[in-house]
Structure 1
Amino acid sequence: MQAFTFSKYCKQTPTKPHFTFNCSQNISGQVVLITGGGGGVGRLIALNFARLQARIVIWDINQEAIKTTVDLLAKHGYDNCKGYVVDISDREQVYQRANQVTADVGAVDILINNAGIVCCKPFWELHDRVIQNTYNINIISHYWTVKAFLPHMMRNNRGHIVTVGSVTGMLGTYGCSDYAATKYACIGFHESLLTDLKAHGYDQIQMSLICPYYINTGMFSGVRPRMMPMLEPQYVADRIENAVRCNEVWCVLPNSIRLLTPLKCLLPAKMCWELMSRVIRGPESMMLFQGRGRVAAG
């Protein structure tokens, strides 16, 4: 049993909530595919699962980033990692690479849909192509990746699908009319697929929905959240690993965010906006956004 301390992963934390996991699932030898595995949280997820003796498959749009991840794993003595350049917004390319992975490595046991992008502009400043691209990468790609790898899981009634959503998929955020909407969609897609599988007897195909707060990867560079510091990438990667090993259905990071989201339903809409604007200062914190484009984070 391994213990993780939240404050270990945050730059500043006034309290020290403690997470303890009792996970016995053996990942050794299983094929773990991570989209957006070339950097950020995706790279750390790859390293975590490599330590569990899993066979790692990295999908990313950036060949150099893939090489960096593969080299990092090799440096730690994990040579069982293959990387593929994939534009996950391209359906046919996803299907072709999926067939290639199956031929090269074997059927995928654990699929982690981790890749995502964010632009962070008011709605009226978003170009049409940016909106379309955000949807294609953040949610539409999940349909293609799951369609590619789910049939094998269904034949064996075994596997695990991880959807990396976001807290913004639970509570809309300034400058995220495209991003937040795709993360809302991730939650709906994930929950509906879970229901489909369980209703048809595929009860051994596990699903984990991960909804993290801001992550300190560069995705939200410049943002200055008021209530709590950004999550450190290693903390998020560790929690995703443990969500898989423990078959966690829904994981909000940090867990304290769960206390805020019910207020959206309990308080009047005007009061919710006042809370976001005056107390949490959500819009103000996002106005300093300087993040990069396509990244491997939720």
Structure 2
Amino acid sequence: MTRGTDLHGARMLVTGGGSGIGRLMALEAARRGATVVIWDRDAAAASEVVGELHALGADAISARVDVTDRAAVDAAAAAAGAIDIVVNNAGVVSGAPLLEASDEAIERTFQVNTLALYWVTRAFLPGMLARDRGAVVTIASAAGLVGVARQTDYAASKWAAVGFAESLRAELRIAGSSVRTLVACPYYIDTGMFEGVRSRFPRLLPILRPEDVARRVIDGIERGREQIVMPPLVRVVPVVRALPARGFDAVVDLFGINRAMEGFRGREGASR
């Protein structure tokens, strides 16, 4: 049986933990006995979450950290001390067609959604390997399994995140390490990050409740899950890929996936 990571007594870091599912995962982990470290660019939001965690009787601290800044990550990691569970949750989206996305927005998408995975994980993984325990969690997206219109930067960054998590899992397995990995690939989550997105078939492809996603991820850490895909219909993507490209496109279009972003408005400062 796959061995998970017990939250009780563990120290868990959540990037982008000042809002969205980052905040909810922190609260859920605290209820299960974890000490939580919140990193966020918004120091006030991170501090508010720490107040909520303290109200639950949990130990918690926060720091203002830009996860795209390697030096800042290294400094904050040294201050945080030993971490058992790293949750790479920080994420951004531009939601613009390729020719309308600014250079800065494209670069920011990859800096936050992809490169930060390396800086944060590399800062804590040596200690986890030395203790031979813990978990590295990557919050990716269903867009990391299928490319979507108006997401050329976001989907590509999430494909990279899925590849990162899978390759890291292979490295740890071959090395015989007990450190686990978990990658989560949820459909759109109702946090404000994808404000205005609509599902053509909400019963099959619902806009996910953030509480459900957060709970599933925390459950997955404790159960030793290696991948979480939500909702279940997304799991058919690899099967549909057996079709020729035109057939694959037809199925994706049937479910309205490439039109889901047409009403996208997003929300300034919104995160996962």
| 1:266 aligned counterpart, secondary structure | coil
Aligned to 2:52: 72
The answer to whether residue 194 in structure 2 is matched with residue 227 in structure 1 is no
Question: Structure 2: how far apart are the matches of 1:168 and 1:126?
Answer: 18
Structure 1 residue 292: Cα displacement: 2.2
Summarize deviations over 1:45-93 as a string: whole Å, max 9, x none: 0000101111100000001211221122223333x11010000010110
**TM-score, structure 2 as length reference:** 0.94
Summarize deviations over 1:242-295 as a string: whole Å, max 9, x none: 1100000111011231024420x2111112222222x11223221100112554
Number of residue pairs matched by the alignment: 268
What is the RMSD computed on CA atoms of the aligned residues?
1.6
Q: 1:137 aligns with which of 112, 119, 125?
A: 112
| 2:72 aligned counterpart, secondary structure | helix
Structure 1 residue 201: Cα displacement: 1.8
| 1:58 aligned counterpart, secondary structure | strand
Structure 1 residue 25: Cα displacement: 5.1
Summarize deviations over 1:144-182 as a string: whole Å, max 9, x none: 011100000111211100011100000011110000000
Summarize deviations over 1:190-231 as a string: whole Å, max 9, x none: 1111111111221x1011111001000001100111122200
The answer to whether residue 181 in structure 2 is matched with residue 207 in structure 1 is yes
Question: Structure 2: how far apart are the matches of 1:171 and 1:185?
Answer: 12
Q: 2:225 aligns with which of 248, 252, 262?
A: 248
Q: 2:251 aligns with which of 265, 275, 296?
A: 275
Instruction: Give the aligned residue type for 1:213.
Output: Y
Equivalent pair of 2:14/2:22 in contact (CA under 8 Å): yes
Larger deviation, residues 52-61 vs 193-202 = 193-202
Structure 1 residue 141: Cα displacement: 0.3
Instruction: Give the aligned residue type for 1:66.
Output: A
Instruction: Give the aligned residue type for 1:39.
Output: S
Question: Structure 2: how far apart are the matches of 1:258 and 1:74?
Answer: 38
Aligned to 1:37: 17
**TM-score, structure 1 as length reference:** 0.86
Question: Structure 1: how far apart are the matches of 2:181 and 2:71?
Answer: 25
The answer to whether residue 60 in structure 2 is matched with residue 81 in structure 1 is yes
Question: Structure 1: how far apart are the matches of 2:176 and 2:162?
Answer: 21
Structure 1 stretches lacking a partner, 5+ long? 1-21
- % identical equivalent positions: 37
Aligned to 1:174: 149
Question: Structure 1: how far apart are the matches of 2:40 and 2:239?
Answer: 35
